[in-house]
């Protein structure tokens, strides 16, 4: 067998599974079709860690409750920002009983730190609230993280502990063979004893179609608008409107909010519903708009074929980031039992250090520059990011290989100039580090070439 375990898909779930399994003496590879991990939905989302208090499903509530505790610990261990800011949940129709219902569910699920708050206390807590309401559910637990940073941390530690990340390989087929599987990608064929398929809605045939086809996909779309306002909110604010439509406002930084509108049908009619929030957004303050589609199924680890060596993660859920680490630990337990694995003696549960200039004192910065002059060469003037930080992001285990990969790992290009002054510098550094022509450097995927050709044939650009 080429591998003991093959993990399919390098989103937050695949990376978390790779991290949990990398502590064992087994030969593991993860296959991801993108140039980077967490390049899909695990990057484009509202970045909220839910605590289960909002969930109507007991199974999901309990997974979220476990997940938030694991994420808090992991963020501390990996030095990933974890901002516990709390959330307020409103219901447009306060007489419907939905608020009391949700509150009693959270009590039933044993979720502490959740209460109903009313009138004065509500507006004292959130003085700039733009919703007229008498009461809300307040959860002190809800937090904001960077799901991308968390997924990359999982992946880096997994790589350091021997997991082989096969990027740019698309799984096209899985077949059973004697005592295992043959997984075919667009580049290779691999055999393995166990497949863990984390790819949502995959297009190839797999063993679990029976269970998957029974799941009803309730499609929803979401638009996310980032706006810059002076009167920023303190808390994550969620307003349930009707029929599962809702509006979420997430204060992602001191002067920026990320606003998501979830709706069932067409966008324009439903946008009128949350108009009370959207009306204050000026066109020029919108930095980014995108839509994503997802279904609201409960998550399920389908281990009905575990004896043959096949596990599949089924379902998409609005809180999949929050529950990813709990799902990964459940899979770890299943693998432990089914493969009878032993722990590595030399396992390193630590992420390699990074130097983030904007978080360092002058003395610390000077010390690093004295060791490596490239840390003294500032590439991004908006966010004060040095050449040394960019090179580190490329040379790390599973380092950046695209312009977006560098931006997401370092924060370069996310300042006021939106990358206009540093994009070309990132391209040149990537080309130099990867020993490629600048013409072959891509933004984030195979078909996202940035420079299409030279206008003058200089030897260097």
- Using CB under 6 A as the binding rule, whether residue 100 contacts ligand FAD is answered as no
- Using CB under 6 A as the binding rule, whether residue 31 contacts ligand FAD is answered as yes
- For ligand FAD, the closer of residues 202 and 256 by Cβ is 202
> Is beta strand 28-31 parallel, antiparallel or unpaired with respect to 164-166?
parallel
Tokens 């993108």 found at: 34
C-alpha distance across the termini of the chain, in Å? 46
* Sign for the pseudo-dihedral over CA of 69, 70, 73, 79: negative
Least spacing, CB of residue 78 vs ligand FAD, in Å: 17
List binders of ligand FAD among 273-302 (CB under 6 A). 292, 294
Q: Which one among 4, 5, 11, 163 touches ligand FAD, defined by CB under 6 A? A: 11
> 160, 348 in Cβ contact below 8 A?
yes
Least spacing, CB of residue 376 vs ligand FAD, in Å: 36
- Using CB under 6 A as the binding rule, whether residue 78 contacts ligand FAD is answered as no
Candidates 36-44, 188-196, 276-284, 377-385; binding stretch for ligand FAD (CB under 6 A): 36-44
- For ligand FAD, the closer of residues 198 and 245 by Cβ is 198
- By three-state DSSP, how is residue 137 classified? strand
Q: Per the structure block, which two tokens stand in for 313?
A: 């993660």
- For ligand FAD, the closer of residues 13 and 163 by Cβ is 13
- Using CB under 6 A as the binding rule, whether residue 10 contacts ligand FAD is answered as yes
Tokens 């004697």 found at: 178
- For ligand FAD, the closer of residues 202 and 242 by Cβ is 202
- For ligand FAD, the closer of residues 39 and 139 by Cβ is 39
**Cα separation, 49 vs 71, whole angstroms:** 8
- Using CB under 6 A as the binding rule, whether residue 33 contacts ligand FAD is answered as yes
- Using CB under 6 A as the binding rule, whether residue 183 contacts ligand FAD is answered as no
Least spacing, CB of residue 147 vs ligand FAD, in Å: 6
**Cα separation, 149 vs 412, whole angstroms:** 14
Closest C-alpha among 156, 140, 194, 130 to residue 1: 194
Q: Which one among 18, 157, 199, 429 touches ligand FAD, defined by CB under 6 A? A: 199
- Using CB under 6 A as the binding rule, whether residue 240 contacts ligand FAD is answered as no
- For ligand FAD, the closer of residues 102 and 236 by Cβ is 236
Q: Per the structure block, which two tokens stand in for 449?
A: 């070439």
Around Cβ 54, how many Cβ atoms within 10 Å? Answer: 25
What Cα–Cα distance (Å) separates residue 262 from each residue in 15, 246, 372, 412?
27, 5, 48, 30
**Cα separation, 114 vs 117, whole angstroms:** 10
- By three-state DSSP, how is residue 169 classified? coil
Q: Which one among 68, 71, 122, 222 touches ligand FAD, defined by CB under 6 A? A: 222
Candidates 11-19, 85-93, 272-280, 409-417; binding stretch for ligand FAD (CB under 6 A): 11-19
**Cα separation, 440 vs 428, whole angstroms:** 11
Q: Given the rule CB under 6 A, which residues bind ligand FAD?
A: 8-14, 31-34, 39-42, 45-48, 50, 170-171, 198-200, 202, 222, 292, 294, 316, 318-322
């Amino acid at each position: 067998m080429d591998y003991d375990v093959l993990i399919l898909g390098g989103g937050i779930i695949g990376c978390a599974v790779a991290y949990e399994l990398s502590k064992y003496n087994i030969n593991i590879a993860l296959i991801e079709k993108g140039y980077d991990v967490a390049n899909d939905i695990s990057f484009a989302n509202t970045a909220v860690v839910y605590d289960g208090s909002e969930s109507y499903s007991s199974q999901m509530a309990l997974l979220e409750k476990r997940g938030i505790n694991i994420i808090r610990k992991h963020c501390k261990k990996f030095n990933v920002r974890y901002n516990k800011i709390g959330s307020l949940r409103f219901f447009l129709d306060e007489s419907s009983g939905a608020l009391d219902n949700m509150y009693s569910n959270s009590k039933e699920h044993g979720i502490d730190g959740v209460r109903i708050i009313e009138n004065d206390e509500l507006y004292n807590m959130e003085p700039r609230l733009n919703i007229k309401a008498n009461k809300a559910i307040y959860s002190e637990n809800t937090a904001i993280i960077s799901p991308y940073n968390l997924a990359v941390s999982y992946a880096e530690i997994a790589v350091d502990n021997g997991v082989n990340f096969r990027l740019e390989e698309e799984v096209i087929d899985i077949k059973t063979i004697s005592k295992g599987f043959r997984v075919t990608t667009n580049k290779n064929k691999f055999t393995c004893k166990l497949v863990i398929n984390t790819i949502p809605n995959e297009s190839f045939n797999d063993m679990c179609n029976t269970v998957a086809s029974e799941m009803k996909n309730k499609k929803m779309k979401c638009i996310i608008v980032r706006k810059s306002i002076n009167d920023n909110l303190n808390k994550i604010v969620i307003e349930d409107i009707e029929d599962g439509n809702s509006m979420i406002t997430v204060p992602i930084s001191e002067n920026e909010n990320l606003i998501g509108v979830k709706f069932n049908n067409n966008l324009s009619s439903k946008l009128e519903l949350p108009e009370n929030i959207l009306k204050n957004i000026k066109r020029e303050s919108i930095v980014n708009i995108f839509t994503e589609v997802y279904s609201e199924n409960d998550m399920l680890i389908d281990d009905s074929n575990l004896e043959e060596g096949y596990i599949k993660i089924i379902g998409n859920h609005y809180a999949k980031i929050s529950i990813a680490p709990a799902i990964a630990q459940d899979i770890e337990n299943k693998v432990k039992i089914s493969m009878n694995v032993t722990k590595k003696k030399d396992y390193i549960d630590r992420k390699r250090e990074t130097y983030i200039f904007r978080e360092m004192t002058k003395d610390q910065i000077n010390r690093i520059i004295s060791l490596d002059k490239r840390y003294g060469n500032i590439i991004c003037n908006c966010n004060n990011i040095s050449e040394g930080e960019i090179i580190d992001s490329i040379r790390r285990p599973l380092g950046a290989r695209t312009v977006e990969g560098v931006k997401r790992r370092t924060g370069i290009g996310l300042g006021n100039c939106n990358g206009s002054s540093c994009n070309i510098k990132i391209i040149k550094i990537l080309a130099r580090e990867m020993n490629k022509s600048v013409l072959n450097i891509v933004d984030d995927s195979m078909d996202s070439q940035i420079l299409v050709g030279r206008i003058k044939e200089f030897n260097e650009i």
